Chains A and B, each alone.
Chain A
Amino acid sequence: GENVEQHPSTLSVQEGDSAVIKCTYSDSASNYFPWYKQELGKGPQLIIDIRSNVGEKKDQRIAVTLNKTAKHFSLHITETQPEDSAVYFCAASKRENYGQNFVFGPGTRLSVLP
């Protein structure tokens, strides 16, 4: 089955710096890759996603890149702010006969230091 690895497990950056989180997946049939942000006491919130027919997607300070050949995708956060501190999860999904199948990475705890 699909396996998603995520690195680093923890990341500390200074406010204003950039943060990059990387994920790799094993199943070449996976074609949808969302990223989630989970703040303390809340459920994961979708922040950006990318489909396999696209190489890069941006939304203000957040961008995601996808390399299908290498089977990895990355989350880039620029001009980090304290409110970006949270746990971030990547996921890989593909269409199965019974519907979608999401496999999540183990998460990255991002701390933005003021």
Chain B
Amino acid sequence: KAGVTQTPRYLIKTRGQQVTLSCSPISGHRSVSWYQQTPGQGLQFLFEYFSETQRNKGNFPGRFSGRQFSNSRSEMNVSTLELGDSALYLCASSLTRQGGSPLHFGNGTRLTVT
């Protein structure tokens, strides 16, 4: 079974631009979560989608948004990019939203904002 696929792997953008990241979950997984990983802050939760609805949101500004499609694929958008948005963005899928359902991560999209 294919794992979580994230595209693109690398992105370089300038301040003020916007960016869209894509995630395809493991087949059959309906929950998709997004995390931001930086050396200083570690793994920070952005949001979770299930059945095309955002179910949970972390403490990030409204510039960060996402959506999920009917096939469970998800996209994340960051508008008006800032230098501090440079990070590895990780997508994770899980089979259910029940307790004890592990997250399976993709290899991430490395975003650099100049």
Binds A, one of B13-21, B67-75, B99-107: B99-107
Query: How many chain-B residues does the 8 Å CB contact rule pick out?
Result: 26
B99 touches A104 (CB 8 A): no
| A99–B42 CA distance with the chains assembled, in angstroms | 22
Taken residue by residue from 36 to 65, chain B's Cβ proximity to chain A (1 for < 8 Å, 0 otherwise) reads as 000000110100101000011000000000
A100 touches B42 (CB 8 A): no
Given the known interface contacts A43-B90, A89-B43, A101-B56, the answer about A95 and B99 at a Cβ–Cβ threshold of 8 Å is yes
Could you list 21 A-B pairs, sorted by A, with CB under 8 Å? A34-B103, A42-B107, A43-B6, A43-B90, A43-B92, A43-B107, A44-B90, A45-B105, A46-B102, A49-B100, A51-B100, A95-B99, A95-B100, A98-B56, A99-B31, A99-B48, A99-B55, A100-B94, A102-B33, A102-B45, A105-B42
Q: A31-B99, A42-B108, A100-B99 are in contact. List 12 more A-B contacts (CB 8 A).
A: A43-B4, A43-B6, A43-B92, A43-B106, A44-B105, A95-B99, A99-B50, A99-B56, A100-B98, A100-B100, A101-B56, A102-B45
Chain A residues close to B by CB (< 8 Å): 31-32, 34, 36, 41-46, 49, 51, 89, 93-96, 98-102, 104-107
